[in-house]
Amino acid sequence: APTIQRADYRPLSWTVETVDLHFALDPEATVVTNRMLCVRNPDADAGPIRLWGEDLKRLSLTVDGQAPAALRESGALIEIDAGGDRVVVEVRTRIDPKANTTLSGLYLSNGGFFTQCEAEGFRRITCFPDRPDVMARFTVTLEADRANCPVLLSNGNLIGQGELPDGRHYARWEDPFPKPCYLFALVAADLVALERTVQTMSGREVLLQVWVEEGNLDRCGHAMDSLVHSMRWDEETFGLELDLDRFMIVAVADFNMGAMENKGLNIFNTKFVLAKPDTATDIDYEHVESVVAHEYFHNWTGNRVTCRDWFQLTLKEGLTVFRDQQFSADMLARAAGAEGAASARAVKRIDDVRVLRAAQFPEDAGPMAHPIRPDSYQEINNFYTATVYEKGAEVIRMLHTLLGQEGFRNGMDLYFSYHDGEAVTCDDFVEVMSEANNGFDLDQFMRWYSQAGTPRVKASGEWNAAVGSYTLTLAQYTPATPGQHAKLPLVIPVAVGLIGPDGRDCALRLDGEAQDGATTRVLKLTADEQRFRFVGLAAEPVPSLLRGFSAPVVLELDEDDARLAFRMAHDADPFNRWDAAQRYAERVVLAMAADAAAPVPDAFVAAFRALLGDGALDPAFRAQALALPGEAYLLERMAPAEPLALRAALVRLMRTLGERLAADWLALFDAMQVPGEYRYHPADAGRRALANLALRYLAAAGDGEGLARAQTRFEAASNMTERFGALAALVQSTHPAREAALEAFHARYRDDALVLDKWFALQAGAWRWDDAAAPVLDRVRALLSDPAFSLSNPNKVYALLGTYFRANPGEFHAADGSGHAFWAEQVIALNGRNPQVAARMARALESWRRFTPALQASIRAQLERVLASEGLSPDVAEVVGKALD
Ligand code: B3K
Ligand code: ZN
């Protein structure tokens, strides 16, 4: 596929002012009539009208009612010569939603019609200048069979509806706000809605709806509450109000990603809408809340102000992820009350950083590495990445840190006052942030948008006892990434604290500055190397660096075990306290992976036990601190990566911690029981998480009492968090009851697609604790033919294959290469149905060059096999091609 370059952006010669769409919906032959008022763009060179169309049967095309004078086609692009400044182009196309297995464009799910247009799905519905910088006003008429599709929805306001002959009906919708076509949506299906009316901050009444299949009506309450909370938060935090009279969320079971922010008509994967205590875990509740918030926040950051071109994707995604992270942190802090707020925020920060380290750091170190604003792509759908989203959010967070809460808010206000209704660039955003803050210099900061790779910050300290000063030297470098060899220094905010020998933070004073009593301050590292001299210290301090993870970097700091244990016990910054535990665990487990005879150090067990038993710590925090670092992150820290050795070390470490602390875990489990009826509340969720973690360690150790508790909890649980936690512990053991428990779980939820996804994932992600047990691949293969499994449903693919490929490296990378061959087989099978899903699965092997030579050889052969396969989509071709480059 050709490579698209950011530098090649040119405005279109013609844009669209209004669109009138008519859909005669039919499962196999939908006819779309599209009337566009095309207008010449005064800011562009003269040229033809350009439209894109893909997989369409074109029935007719006219310009002002006439056949066009000249029409040229190449691939998806259609060029039409037109005179004058305003012309009406009318295109009629026929499409086959039933045959559309890509889930991009218009498709069927359980008999209903749904759309997904971002990034370039609208061209699969009709011919259109399918680019985000074309913002038009849409009017949409839907016509469908009333019995099958009683509900007809599109963006904006309902302006008409009625009956038609032959059992058909219609509805007409008008969206008052100009929008790019990627935000168009329609739904025609048999659904019911949970409704609520609320007042916005200016006193307008708005109707909120959550649309689902009838049987799911009892699972919508949490999504609705989350929507109301999001609306309030955006009003209070940014002064941003809902701009429509109605806001709809629709849940659909077949969906490529999480959800989509279509104007006024958000379409969601069922996974991020439906929740009730018997089927959803605490983590599911959390996800529903944050995804609802994310999509809602897009209404301003994405829809009112959108992206000029797809290279600017992080403009809306990084900013919106940052907003949803702040929202969730505020919600957790509010629930925790004043005392617990700081810890609650840290728990959220830890979650976000875990994701960044597990998904974004490896991406930034692999063949797909790209800046948050990429310079080129082959297939834009491959760039909805952890880098654009999560690292993009980190970049916004650093701006927030540098400018302060108020400065950031002023920048946001100016952003909307300048750019509301426009399609803009990342430069535009950073420019208003600077302008709103007295010209704050952000020129060097812009390098975060153009440089790929995870920067390293190397820190060292020097204590001068004679004068009581501590000099901290910070140096930065960023490793080379594909196509980017030389890197320039970045602006890196490093939040620093100094801990005294008594475990308490010292007051910080930099040489030449007055004492202000602060115990954490943000140093700005801008050069390759800088020194910061702290004075007025009574004794040698222990540095606590990058507090709260103030920048998305790898911190390189020599700390011995004793120092890590000290910070694990005393660091006043809860994020860094957690991080100290992670670093210590990482060191221990990597040493065990390098040497199968290396013991688990007693000092580590003792430090771990101290955290475990510290009742002053919030349970949610303890659950984070006692969970070992993620396997994906650990593999990233190993050179060469040896997944089997790592797995063996993790098994041994889990067992040892389970055995040696068995009494502590049992007591902790008992102490963490949550009485009464289930409610989703962060305090309860923290207790349940910690209890579930205790069971995991006990099960890993094969502890009889622990396993008995797991079994009882599995049978008696009143909610999914406890039931699934207990099941997971049983499955992660050699207990003979594990198979029966899996069967009982299946029997109970045989008709519940979302719960079955958990059941598939649990088996695909299982570890082997017993050397004689069969490889997990045998189970995964068998589950492929389970009646509930389907390669056409992305959730099923992610649960079974995604978990096996991405979350079970110790099995997937079996030395005989069976996992790799299976991967190639499945990627090829998916490629023909759904290229976006196939490409996601394909990415599981992109970091192959980091593995041992034997694994590399095995993987290379399979990458080559996929690359050589027939009919490879541009999506998969880009991933595999870059991996082999
Ligand atoms: N904007 C969508 C993602 C669309 C992905 C297209 N392949 C969801 C989101 O970020 O909110
Ligand atoms: Zn988004």
Q: Is the CB of 261 under 6 A from ligand 1?
A: yes
Neighbours of ion ligand 2 (CB under 5 A): 317, 320
Tens-digit pLDDT profile for residues 317-361: 999 999 999 999 999 999 999 999 999 999 999 999 999 999 999
Asked if 295 is an active-site residue, the reply is yes
Give DSSP secondary structure letters for 499-529. E-TTSPBPPP-BTTS-----S-EEEEE-SSE
* Residue pointed to by tokens 């279509």: 262
pLDDT band at 771 (very low <50, low <70, confident <90, very high): confident
Q: How high is the pLDDT of residue 153?
A: 99
Q: How far apart are CA 650 and CA 153, in angstroms?
A: 50
DSSP 786: S
Of the candidates 54, 261, 295, 379, the residue annotated as catalytic is 295
Ligand 2 centroid–CA 260 distance in Å is 7
- Residue 871, sorted as left (phi over 0), alpha (psi -120 to 50) or beta, turns out to be left
Tens-digit pLDDT profile for residues 241-295: 999 999 999 999 999 999 999 999 999 999 999 999 999 999 999 999 999 999 9
Does this model's pTM top 0.95? yes
Give DSSP secondary structure letters for 348-378. HHHHHHHHIIIIIHHHHTSTT---SS-SEES
Q: Give percent above pLDDT 70 in the chain.
A: 100
Ligand minimally distant from the alpha carbon of residue 316: 2
pLDDT band at 194 (very low <50, low <70, confident <90, very high): very high
Residue owning the nearest CA to atom 10 of ligand 1: 317
Q: 443 and 482 in contact (C-beta within 8 Å)?
A: no
Residue to probe by mutation, ligand 1, list 261, 263, 323, 875, most atoms within 8 Å of CB: 261
Judged against a pLDDT cut of 90, whether residue 205 lies above it is answered with yes
Ligand 1 centroid–CA 258 distance in Å is 8
Tens-digit pLDDT profile for residues 292-301: 999 999 999 9
Ligand minimally distant from the alpha carbon of residue 104: 1
Q: 392 and 317 in contact (C-beta within 8 Å)?
A: yes
Mean per-residue pLDDT over the chain, rounded: 98
Mean pLDDT of 76-85: 97
Judged against a pLDDT cut of 90, whether residue 516 lies above it is answered with no
Residue to probe by mutation, ligand 1, list 312, 317, 834, most atoms within 8 Å of CB: 317
DSSP 100: -
State the closest ligand 1 atom to the C-alpha of 381, by its place in the atom list counted from 1. Answer: 7
Residues paired with residue 542 on neighbouring β-strands, in sequence order: 499
Mean pLDDT of 368-377: 98
Ligand minimally distant from the alpha carbon of residue 120: 1
Neighbours of 616 (CB within 10 A): 4
Q: How far apart are CA 662 and CA 745, in angstroms?
A: 27
Ligand 1 centroid–CA 525 distance in Å is 34
Q: Is 533 helix (H, G, I), strand (E, B) or coil?
A: strand
Judged against a pLDDT cut of 90, whether residue 760 lies above it is answered with yes
Q: Is the CB of 294 under 6 A from ligand 1?
A: yes
Mean pLDDT of 756-781: 96
Q: Is 818 helix (H, G, I), strand (E, B) or coil?
A: helix
